[in-house]
Structure 1
Amino acid sequence: MNRYFLLPLAMLAILCTPTKAQSITGKISGQIRDPQNRALPGATVILQERQDSTVKKVSLSDTDGAFEVKNLPKGDYVLSCSYVGFQAYKSGLLTITETQTALRLPVIVLQASTPKTLNEVVVTAKKPLVEQKIDRLIVNVDAMLTAAGGNALDVLAKSPGVMVSTNDDISLNGKRNVLVLIDDRPTYMSAQDLAAYLRSLPGGLLDKVELISNPPARYDAAGGAIINIVLKKNRAAGFNGSLNLGYNQGRYGRSNNALLLNYRTKKFNIFTNSSFSRDRNFSEETYSRYFFTDAGLPQSTILQTSQSNYTSNGWNGRIGMDYVASPKTTIGILFTSSTRPKSDRLDYTSNQYTGLMQLDSVSKGYTDGHYQSRNTGLNLNLSHKFDSTGKLLMANVDYLTFQTNTNQFSPIDTYRPDGQLANTQERLFIIPSTVRIYAGKLDYTQPLAGKAEFSAGLKSSYVMTDTESNWFNQTGDGSVPDYGKSNHFQYTEAINAAYVNLKKEWSRWAIQTGLRLENTQSTGHQLANPATVDSTFHRSYTWQFPSLYLSYKLDKRGDNTLVLSYSKRIRRPGYQQLNPFLFFQDRYSYSGGNPNLIPGYGQSIDLRYTYKHYLGVTLAYSWDKNGINPITKAVGDQFITRPQNFYQGHSLGIIPNVSFSPTSWWTVNISAVLLAIRNQGNAAGVTIDQQSNLHEVETMNQFQLGKTWSAELTGFFPGSQFFAQTKSSSIYNISAGLQKTILQRQGTLRLTVNDIFYTLVMHSQTVALNQISAFYTRQSDTRRVGLSFMYRFGKEANARKRNTVGSAEDEKMRTN
């Protein structure tokens, strides 16, 4: 235990040691005005490297028209400025040297444009699809044409290294149990609920996606990795916003629409976004299950076909305000709300055969389901700068509620081989659930001498869940409770955390090390009913989570960089995974929870080489203990799936990402995940010891077809997957998009085609079942044609935003 505390103490001694080998950090500043000497706030400032015209910085002028571009290495630069209604400005050569580290430019006066000139002079800075940072990979969503008109889950599925499985589990670079954040705040949802929420979130609301394989200490230790979805915000002065409309058609139509509004003055910033989505899909599935005797002879067979479809409407709203109480203090409030009513219908036919493949019985049933989900959240935040050196305190308080109501009616008719009705069973399921979350967080940052920085923080969260699973058998006398399968489960969890983080830069070396300490207290309570006794469990544990980043520039400019990173993470059970209730799927399939689950943990170490933003290659190794995975067992002819602390795993992988331009109008981005995996597991009578290779390749080709036309062609090629009890075959997906800018570049039209060849058909096998072979196929509405329109109004800008990180950061993907 003490060895983890020695690491940051040793680093603190190193960081406070003076050094002469400091890198050059220059800055370029100035002021932008019109011919009447009036300030031009929100003007776009672009700084490019002279050598290859790479965009180094994109900034905005403040309310006084001033700008400052900092942290510039030695080199030659060219600066350009643009403002709506004015002619663009381009500077001469600007040079940062050892003796000239600060350049103060004369006042830049932009001349008014005539209408004709405005149409002809266009200055744009196109963001690349992928940006590589020291601790994360950033995907700029606006640069992904085929995401237009879709939803946030579509965007994730197209992001490098991200996989979304058939049961909506999200993984990053082969790491499962990913913590998904929205604007640095957790979503606190199960994998299935999170997927439903992301489907209701239009892709037009997303600004970027941050992929963090080894998160630093300031982040909660939950999850194998972190994906942070950053929503669009416009902080330019005055009133501005954007409208996003999207529709796509497959067998069914879907729509994704969003409106973003922002109004900013010197003292107030008021912002809001609202969205509506309509999601409709179908699924056609087949199950084939073969049962054998101890001697290996056929005993029975179940063949099932099912057709399902659902319709879901999603409303999402956010409204917030920042108040600048003083030049050093800003106070903010943010309110979020969403609702997702959904209805679905599943029809299935199951044929059961004898060992000689003679028909034994036929079951026909359906499930008619209606669901209501309402989520609300309130965040209060404060940011205080103590002085001009960068000493900063940030505070956040969060309150969130999640309420769901499920109502399902499931009749089943069983027939003899001659077609005569043998049995009828009707069931009704009513499942209300409530989750309440309280969280508070403090983060402090203290710059130190010699380009060093110390940060520390505290966080506390308290979660209460209350879920009822009520089963009823329908009879001629009405609904009769089935207390043997009904359940009422309550769960509380308190997590208290503290962290310290230290970082320092030299001319070529940089280091960042941190330690996070988390204490967890949890209690589960299954309430008694006439058939179930009252029972409780309590768990208490304290774990330490170290993290480390070490980087080295192989050349003076830092074009070639090596980064070594390490982190330890915890995998806590989802709130409802601890609930032992059974959930009905069909005549032969059930799922449930497991109150005996304990947290698992994982460690990973990566070595990454990058060349500018063109190339990145990562050598990754990770190992997991007590990993939680759903395990399927056969009870008679029924499959029952429950989570278990099942696997111990090791993986070694190479993860390359490359971007290049064969021509001036063609840009290629290729990413891949190549893993060698060893998984061992033993739980609930199921044993595995498997070695497998996993690969996934994604390609994106972007074409500039003139000043206002562009196109995109993407390919997604995941190979066969083998993990725990699931073995799936390889698939692929080819998609394309076409874009046209209109209305003086304030409007954008996009036409997209996803899964052109309709190849996203899933084939999988469930293995490690005693004397049973089980196969599954599924296809859905993946081939779609879409049209979207985006219009920006007001002053367009990408101003820097105050980094408000919500205090709820641990319980995401755990409310189911």
Structure 2
Amino acid sequence: MKPFLLPMRNLIKVSTSLLCSLVFLFQSFAVSAQQAPNYTIEGKVTDTLNRSLDYATINLLQASDSSVVKVMFTDENGDYRLSDLKEGNYLVQAELLGFAKNTSQQIILSPTRPYKKIDNIVLHLANNELNAIVITGQRPLIERKSDMLVVNVESSTLAAGNNAMDILERSPGITVDKDDNISLNGKKGIMVMIDGKQTYLSSEQLGSLLRSTDGNTIQSIEIINNPSSKYDAAGGPGIINIKLKKNKMSGTNGSFNAGAGYGNGHKANTSLNVNHKSGKFNVFGTYSYQENDRTDIINIYRIVGGENQFTSFDQGNSMTMLRKNHSLRAGVDYQTSEKNTVSFQASGLLTDAGNENIGGVQIGSFQSPLDSTLIANTLLDEDFRSLSFNLNNTYNIDTLGRKLSVDADYSSFFEDASANYTNTFYNPDGSLLHEPLESRSLMPSKIYIQAYKADYTHPLNENSGLEAGLKYANVKTDNDLKFSERTDGQWINDENRSNHFVYREQVAAGYISYHTTLDKFGFKAGLRSEYTISDGNSLTLSNRVKRDYIDFFPNASVSYNPSDDHQYSISYSKRINRPRYNNLNPFSYFLDQYTSVQGNPYLQPEYTHALAVNYTLLKRFNFSTGYEITKDAVVEIMKQNDVSKSTFITNENIAQQKQWFLNVNAPVRFTKFWNSNTNITGFYLGFESENENSINYGQYAMQLTSNQNFTILPSLTAEATLNYQSGLQYSIYKIADAWSIDAGINKSFNNKKANIKLSVSDVFNTRDQYVTTQHANLNAIIDQKRETRVFRLSLTYNFGNTKIGSSKQYEKSDEEKRIGK
């Protein structure tokens, strides 16, 4: 325990300092808050049956001229509270889509009567025959907000039948390589969150999880470049937050989806989403099933040596995968009182995947174009299971906005993978060079995650407020690889290729954030501190690396809104990207006798400083530019042994990485039936290092996503999306340009409760990954063609009550749920 006590003392000191600062700020503003009466109006909005109407729009009007003073929305119980008002005479007007407006009688606020609770405002249906209201509006596929780029997956024809990884690959600025490493504008290390919660998985495990997540369960994807101090500091290039659907409409409602598709193999998916909200209870559940049969092709060509003493390896691989996924998510929200809500959610995932990898390697030399041939056949079985629980308690301390939210999360991930390898060598004439080599591996992996956090919100007045919080996360991973070879009919353990690696990581964090508005200026500043304890232990190699370190992550932003048509902002943040635990494992994983992957236990965290400037024109066109510099950047390096003619891939810290970027997001309405949204990012990515693997270069690149939406008939829409990525050099790899076009059409029936969607991804089958490297003694070409052209047909049916409130309130709720509330 002693090694842990000293770090905890440091954490206590940091937390105490943050809390003392919070208390000081509370006391500083408390005096000014008590100098004047708090003029307040409270009330409730109901229908003619005395049922509460949630998310109704409340307009506070001056009684003299009916000018608008303040706008807000009723809560889930139909209640509202208008506070921080001035002395005067007012009217309260309530409105909700599908109902006629209604206005209260005149309300007088004075020093002797600073508080008034008015009678319920009753709204009548605009059409007495209307029992349900169907919202027909649809958000654009790509939406630029002040602090993020949002891909509105829900209702998009291109999301039908796709999984989460497919959707990410089609999102602006995001690329996914052959090893499922996700990059944003060419930079790796981005943190992926689901419903505001960090995944803590390796790139392979995260890829498996995302490919098992049905796209029909996703509401939107948020791409956040400069997150505030409320978010974890992990993820140097920023954060990708995948928001799952969670229905909060009153009554019983839901949706059913079924689809089929075909690319290189068949596809099938179905999902059922049910929600019931009555009184203080909200119960919801989602089940989905996916089946995906696909084939990917990868070709690798490399040369060892030069002139008349080289050896060439020409390798072709066909990888066929059949993956079946079952996922279930269920939960309940219970309002224990008017101020307190308890939420519980459980989710599980079960994946059964079988892979067959058939590869051939032609080995040649200067003297002979073909010296021998290796035929490799690999059969991989993978069972992936996960189980997660979340318990949340949100306490609204008062109607002024003070709130305390506490979360407890537990997740476990289990992967049971086994592989059988058969390698057969042939002479140039086709005869056997020697008997086939048979081997097998067992690769069980376990991950346990515990996370606890508390967030406190304290409005100081109408224009300013404070936020503070604490978090503790504990992650343990256990990977036990057992490799054996078949010798004389017996399976013999190969100790040189077996490995047991255990990694533990604890992160304790605290943050404080303050925001205020002065006239046309807005200010926000925050500080987050994280204390990390890590322990990587290779039991096989008796190699153990322990670390503990504390970091501070400031962030600040200033906004200026001179008018509704012009909005400016500038922001700064510091972030960290800790090495993935699988990259810290010092063991070498052999893919074949010529190729291996080796970890680096001495990898250090990389730190990114990011500065961004944003300008919004006419509330539609968004321009942003920025500069980022990453110290001790972790990059993938390929090395080659000219004697054994083998290569291995590892990761190393290089000196630094720099990036400039310019982003333009332009939504345009050409005609009544044609809407367009184009997102263009130009960037410069450069590396500087002075070690033995010197990498010093920079390159300009461009990424384009253009989405076109067409309303052919009120019940018939179509859309098409163009994606283009220019050539890019990352680390020692040169990545060729790539482009694709996706298209889809949607037909609705039964008052838009039923929809049929037909879509084609990568219509011309042009999206592939062509990578070359010529660095030091390396000379290699990698050409990978995944299954990208897929035809899909999907049916969606929405049932039950579909009445909702104002879309503005819906946006506000999304903002809160970004952090998992």
Same fold by TM (over 0.5)?
yes
Deviations 1:295-343 (A, max 9, x none): x445111111111111111111111112211111111221111111111
1:156 partner SS: helix
> Please, which moves more after superposition, 421-430 or 166-175?
166-175
2:756 corresponds in structure 1 to 749
Q: CA deviation at 1:575?
A: 1.6
Q: Residue 28 and residue 566 in structure 1: after superposition, are their counterparts in 2 closer, same or farther (change >3 A)?
A: farther
Structure 1 unaligned spans of 5+: 20-24, 48-55, 93-101, 810-816
CA distance in 1, matches of 2:420, 2:179: 22
Deviations 1:75-133 (A, max 9, x none): xx9997445xxxx65799xxxxxxxxx9999643115455xx899x9763332333333
For 1:519, the aligned partner's letter is Y
Q: Residue 563 and residue 407 in structure 1: after superposition, are their counterparts in 2 closer, same or farther (change >3 A)?
A: same
CA distance in 2, matches of 1:220, 1:600: 15
For 1:664, the aligned partner's letter is K
Contact 1:381 1:397 in 2 (8 A): yes
Residue 33 (str. 1) matches residue 47 (str. 2):
yes
Residue 264 (str. 1) matches residue 277 (str. 2):
yes
2:664 corresponds in structure 1 to 656
Which among 499, 505, 511 is matched to residue 517 of structure 2? Answer: 505
Q: CA deviation at 1:637?
A: 1.9
Q: Residue 320 and residue 586 in structure 1: after superposition, are their counterparts in 2 closer, same or farther (change >3 A)?
A: same
Q: CA deviation at 1:204?
A: 1.2
Deviations 1:119-158 (A, max 9, x none): 9x97633323333333222222225322222122222223
Which among 631, 642, 645 is matched to residue 650 of structure 2? Answer: 642
Q: CA deviation at 1:767?
A: 3.0
Structure 1 segment 279-290 matched on structure 2, within 5 A: 279-290=292-303
Residue 370 (str. 1) matches residue 381 (str. 2):
yes
Which among 669, 674, 684 is matched to residue 666 of structure 1? Answer: 674
2:413 partner SS: strand
Q: Residue 654 and residue 803 in structure 1: after superposition, are their counterparts in 2 closer, same or farther (change >3 A)?
A: closer
1:762 corresponds in structure 2 to 769
2:787 corresponds in structure 1 to 781
1:622 corresponds in structure 2 to 628
CA distance in 2, matches of 1:172, 1:258: 30
Deviations 1:142-190 (A, max 9, x none): 2532222212222222322322233322223444211111111122222
Structure 1 segment 113-124 matched on structure 2, within 5 A: 113-114=128-129, 124=136
1:341 partner SS: strand
Structure 1 segment 97-246 matched on structure 2, within 5 A: 107-114=122-129, 124-224=136-236, 225-246=238-259
Contact 1:602 1:622 in 2 (8 A): yes
In the TM superposition, structure 1's runs of 4+ consecutive aligned residues that sit over 6 Å from their partners are 1-6, 8-11, 25-30, 43-47, 56-61, 66-72, 77-80, 102-106, 802-809
Contact 1:40 1:61 in 2 (8 A): no
- Would you say how many aligned residue pairs link Structure 1 and Structure 2? 773
Structure 1 segment 714-725 matched on structure 2, within 5 A: 714-725=721-732
2:247 partner SS: coil
Contact 1:688 1:768 in 2 (8 A): no
Deviations 1:430-461 (A, max 9, x none): 11111111221111111113511111111111
CA distance in 2, matches of 1:68, 1:735: 47
CA distance in 2, matches of 1:588, 1:749: 50
Residue 354 (str. 1) matches residue 368 (str. 2):
no
Contact 2:102 2:122 in 1 (8 A): no
1:307 corresponds in structure 2 to 318
1:813 corresponds in structure 2 to none
Structure 2 unaligned spans of 5+: 1-9, 34-38, 60-69, 86-91, 104-115
Contact 1:28 1:105 in 2 (8 A): no
Deviations 1:464-484 (A, max 9, x none): 111111111111241111111
Residue 466 (str. 1) matches residue 467 (str. 2):
no
2:695 corresponds in structure 1 to 688
Structure 1 segment 278-427 matched on structure 2, within 5 A: 278-293=291-306, 296-423=307-434, 424-427=436-439
Q: CA deviation at 1:40?
A: 6.5
Which among 544, 547, 554 is matched to residue 546 of structure 1? Answer: 554
CA distance in 2, matches of 1:272, 1:582: 43
For 1:409, the aligned partner's letter is N
Deviations 1:188-207 (A, max 9, x none): 22222222222221211111
Cα RMSD (Å): 3.8
Contact 2:709 2:717 in 1 (8 A): yes
CA distance in 2, matches of 1:212, 1:71: 33
CA distance in 1, matches of 2:303, 2:169: 33
Residue 603 (str. 1) matches residue 614 (str. 2):
no
Q: CA deviation at 1:678?
A: 1.3
> Please, which moves more after superposition, 476-485 or 128-137?
128-137
Q: Name which structure has the greater RCO, CA cutoff 8 Å, separation 6+.
A: 1
CA distance in 2, matches of 1:566, 1:136: 14
Q: Residue 14 and residue 504 in structure 1: after superposition, are their counterparts in 2 closer, same or farther (change >3 A)?
A: farther
TM-score (norm 2): 0.86
Q: CA deviation at 1:386?
A: 1.3
Q: CA deviation at 1:407?
A: 0.5
Q: Residue 486 and residue 140 in structure 1: after superposition, are their counterparts in 2 closer, same or farther (change >3 A)?
A: same
Contact 1:170 1:177 in 2 (8 A): yes
Deviations 1:216-237 (A, max 9, x none): 0011100121111111111122
1:696 partner SS: strand
Contact 1:300 1:357 in 2 (8 A): no
CA distance in 1, matches of 2:171, 2:705: 8
1:98 corresponds in structure 2 to none
CA distance in 1, matches of 2:629, 2:74: 44
Q: CA deviation at 1:44?
A: 7.3
Deviations 1:699-722 (A, max 9, x none): 000011121111101100111121
For 1:672, the aligned partner's letter is I
CA distance in 2, matches of 1:640, 1:27: 69
CA distance in 1, matches of 2:336, 2:730: 54
Which among 698, 717, 732 is matched to residue 710 of structure 1? Answer: 717
> Please, which moves more after superposition, 260-269 or 696-705?
260-269
1:340 partner SS: strand
Q: Residue 40 and residue 446 in structure 1: after superposition, are their counterparts in 2 closer, same or farther (change >3 A)?
A: closer
Contact 1:736 1:753 in 2 (8 A): yes
For 1:279, the aligned partner's letter is N
CA distance in 1, matches of 2:469, 2:14: 21
TM-score (norm 1): 0.87
Q: CA deviation at 1:796?
A: 2.1
